[in-house]
Amino acid sequence: MRKTRVSATIPEEILRRFDEVCKDLGHKNRSSAISTALYEYIVSNKWIKKKGNIAGAIIITYDHHTRNINEMLTEVQHEYNDIINASLHIHLTHEQCLEIVAVRGEANKIRKLFKNLQSIKGIFSIKFVASA
C-alpha cells in the first residue's frame, strides 16, 4: 500500500497519552499506531452510511452533575422507544455515569437518535458499536 506523509496539530496531552498507549500495545513507531487508529476509526464508523435495519449499542459517558442531563437523556430516549430495546445506567464515580442503550431498527432513525444524544451538554464521549 502506498504511503503518504501527513502533518497534524494535536494537543500535547493527547499526544502524550497516545504515545503511552502505543508503547503499551507494542507498536514499533507512532506512524504504525496512527495508521492502526485511523483504520479502526474508519471501521467503527461504517454504520454511518448503512441502509436498512441495524442493531447495536450506543455507549455514553457523561457528567451527571450537568444541569438536567438525566432528564434530557431520558426525554430523547422516550422519543425513540420504537428502536430502543433496553438501557443500562452505571455509576462510574460520584461525577461520571455510563449509559448503554441497546438499539435495533432503521439505520437513519438510529443515526438521528445518536445525533440528538450527541448534542446534549455534559456528555464526555458517545460511541455506537454495531452488531456484526
Considering the chain, tell me which residue range(s) the CATH 3.30.70.1150 domain(s) occupy.
Answer: 52-130
> What pLDDT, in 10s, does the model give residues 40-91?
888 788 888 889 999 999 999 999 898 899 999 999 999 999 999 999 999 9
How is domain 52-130 classified at the CATH fold level? Alpha-Beta Plaits (3.30.70)
Residue 132 has pLDDT above 70, yes or no: no
The verdict on pTM exceeding 0.85 is no
Q: How far apart are CA 106 and CA 16, in angstroms?
A: 40
Q: Residue 45 has what pLDDT? A: 81
